[in-house]
Amino acid sequence: MNSEPIKDFGEGIGKGIIKGTLEWGENFVKNLANRFKEKGINFIEDKNTLEIAREQYNSGELQIYKHYIEDKNKLMTLRMGLVLRKLERLGERERKQKLREDIMKKYEIKGLHVAQFVENGVLNRYIGILLDDISSIEKFKERINEIIDNIEKYVLFVKFGDSERFVLDLCLRITTSNLSMIFIVSGMGSAGEIIRKIEGKLVVLLKDYELEKMSRENNENLFFKRILKDRDKIKETSK
């Protein structure tokens, strides 16, 4: 009796089992990776937007944020900001508005503001300003997390329909109450037009701050950096 067919048959089964095991393992790893990508983003209802959110999981910008921010919810709102930015670049206005509504439902107005903070590129510039005079990496992380935790103390998001008087009064109230080192006024579209109109008045109003502008397409962002007197510099560096 020829044993070669039996041997070949046995080898075929063995190879099939090994191949099947390897393919199963590869698919398992892929599925596991996709689970991590999709964890927390199932609140997004639009399929195309969901796909963009998956893409942003591995974006270089988000990877940088992960070095300084550990909280998963914070990272998720930052990721949503990257998605909003991508939708804006693609001209997907309806999908962008729908995502804003989804973010509001999930993370409320604070979460939406944090996402806008990223979308407008303001967080990146804020990080750049911090790097100019930060004393330690721990302090650097602390400042970034502080602004995300208390964004309303540091950033005024001007909305469509806000009056010039309202924006000026609110800026004065926020800066007087918090004495933040950096105060930002941000707006898009028609809100950006309001900011451009009152820029001169804001400079006069916030006389203890120096202005740095960041304008992009239909975005207007004014960074007011508090001018430190000698005694204040000593206090600030000792914190």
Helix, strand or coil for residue 46?
Answer: coil
**Taking the model in full, what pTM does it have?**
0.77
Q: What is the DSSP letter of 58?
A: G
Q: Are residues 46 and 112 in the same domain?
A: yes
From first CA to last CA, the distance across the chain in angstroms is 88
* Nearest of 234, 230, 107, 236 to residue 182 by alpha carbon: 236
Beta bridge partners of 155: 184
Residues 139-178 pLDDT 10s: 899 999 999 999 999 999 999 899 999 999 999 999 999 8
Q: Are residues 172 and 227 in the same domain?
A: yes
Q: Which two tokens stand for residue 130?
A: 């911090």
Domain containing 73: what range?
A: 36-119
Lowest-pLDDT choice from 20-29, 109-118, 121-130, 137-146: 20-29
In-domain check, residue 163: yes
In-domain check, residue 4: no
Q: What is the DSSP letter of 57?
A: G
Residues 44 and 52: their CA atoms lie apart, in Å, by 11
Q: Are residues 113 and 156 in the same domain?
A: no
- DSSP element (H, E) containing 187: strand 182-188
Residues 175-194 pLDDT 10s: 999 888 899 999 988 899 99
- DSSP element (H, E) containing 156: strand 155-157
Query: Into how many domains does the chain fold?
Result: 2
